[in-house]
Structures are given as C-alpha cells and as structure tokens.
Amino acid sequence: QVQLQESGPGLVKPSQTLSLTCTVSGDSINKGGYYWSWIRQRPGKGLEWIGSIYYSGSAYYNPSLKSRITVSVDTSKTQFSLTLNSVTAADTAVYYCARGSITVVRGVVGFDYWGQGTLATVSS
Amino acid sequence: AIQMTQSPSSLSASVGDRVTITCRASQDIRNELGWYQQKSGTAPKLLIYAASNLQSGVPSRFSGSGSGTDFTLTISSLQPEDFATYYCLQDFNYPWTFGQGTQVEVK
C-alpha cells in the first residue's frame, strides 16, 4: 500500500523559508510513470497546485508563486521536498504531498495517493 | 492559466437524490479533467480521471462526462458518506488548476 507522509515545521516566520518533506513508502519514488507533487489549501479555501516533479527530474511550478519555490527528489531516501522562500501570511495553508500517475493504457490518471496534509503557519 | 468554473458552489440534497455538478474550462482541455472528493479535515480523494474514467475502488454511483470545455460529475443516488466538497482539476497544461469547489450539504 502506497503511503505518503508530510513533515516539516508547523510555524515559520515571515520572510523566512518553508521547507517540507514528503516520505513515500510502499513504492519506488524513481519509477517511471509517476509525478510527485505539492498542493496546498489555505484556511477555508480551495485547492491550489504548487508544483510537480517527474521521475526524469523535470519540474513544473505554479507561476503564481513566481521563483520562490523548488521541488526536489531524494531517491535514496524515497523523499521529495518543497522549499518556499520569502514566505508571508498568505502562504499559511495545509500543504499536501501527492503522487500522480500516468500509464500507457490509461493516460494521465491524476493524484491517486495523498498525504494527510501538514499545516504550515506563517507568523512572527 | 486555464480557469475552471464549477457550479453550483454549494447545494443541498437528500440521501437518494441524483446530484449533478458541472465544471467549465476557459479553453478546450480535451478530456484532461479529474474529479476529487474532500471530506472535512482530510485529504482529497480521486474519483474520476480523464473526464469519465472511474478510479479503482470508487463506487459506481459516481460518473463523469464531458470533453472540451464542459464537464459533469454525477452521483446517481446520494449516500450519507457522499456529503463532502467536490473539486475538478484540469491537467491539460500548466499550471494545473482546480475549480473552486462544490459543497454538497444535507437538505
């Protein structure tokens, strides 16, 4: 059974860097056909795609976050990470990591496994 | 970025009702749309992918249809466990964008 678990500090000061890690178990993180992603949800709001990284290493980001974000993969630790620089109160949200799947037969499947989410609060 | 507009933003329904939620894309996204269910305090769950394909393990009362710009999620007979918020997501091109959500409440 594939499981994802987010970890990171619950509180970050304004202008500092938010770093979150997602640990994947039950499957290989460097297998083709998957993309590893971050999605967030501000309090009481909808879902926002942040960025995704593929097995190949190609990463795609939401331009609304400009150049503040980096998503990376550590295959040796079966983890992938999110770094968000220069945070403000607007970055306070529940951050989800998720696995997306693409198959030859089914095409893009979407986010089929999610972590339970971690709340990151930006406050001094 | 492609805008995804869901309607209604909320609805009230009873167990056994047929429920329909629509999602409209600001441009043609072919069939590259998914539907997700989110219950309060939990992560979203994939219901439908590629507009009309039922994800493994999802009850058959859920169905999706549409292509191009207009899409529909239908729950044929609402069950107590279906009261939740539903989101569409276009994965046609970046940035991937979600609809604003439809909250299905008890009538």
Task: Tell me the CA distances in angstroms from A113 to A36, A103, B87, one per residue in order.
Answer: 10, 15, 16
Amino acid at residue number B70: D
Chain A interface test: which of B91, B92, B93, B102 (most A C-beta within 10 Å)? B91
DSSP A111: E
Average pLDDT over residues A101-107: 83
Residue of B nearest to A106 (CA): B50
pLDDT interval class at B82 (50, 70, 90) = very high
Cα–Cα distance, A33 to A75 (Å, whole number): 15
Amino acid at residue number A97: C
Considering only the beta carbons, identify the residue of B1, B91, B94 that sits closest to A110.
B91
CB contact under 8 A, B100 and A46: yes
Do the strands B102-106 and B10-13 form a parallel or antiparallel pair, or are they unpaired?
Answer: parallel
pLDDT interval class at A105 (50, 70, 90) = confident
For residue A13, pLDDT beyond 90: yes
Do the strands B85-90 and B33-38 form a parallel or antiparallel pair, or are they unpaired?
Answer: antiparallel
For residue A31, pLDDT beyond 90: no
Cα–Cα distance, B84 to B78 (Å, whole number): 11
pLDDT interval class at B95 (50, 70, 90) = very high
Give chain B's mean pLDDT.
97
Q: Which residues contact B8 (CB under 8 A, 6 or more apart)?
A: B21, B102
Residue B55: CB atoms within 10 A of its CB come to 18
pLDDT interval class at A6 (50, 70, 90) = very high
CB contact under 8 A, B96 and A47: no
For residue B14, pLDDT beyond 90: yes
In tens, the pLDDT along B21-62 reads 999 999 999 999 999 999 999 999 999 999 999 999 999 999
Cα–Cα distance, A66 to B72 (Å, whole number): 32
Cα–Cα distance, B21 to B6 (Å, whole number): 7
For residue B96, pLDDT beyond 90: yes
CB contact under 8 A, B44 and A108: no
pLDDT interval class at A109 (50, 70, 90) = confident
- With H, G, I as helix, E, B as strand and everything else as coil, classify residue A20: strand
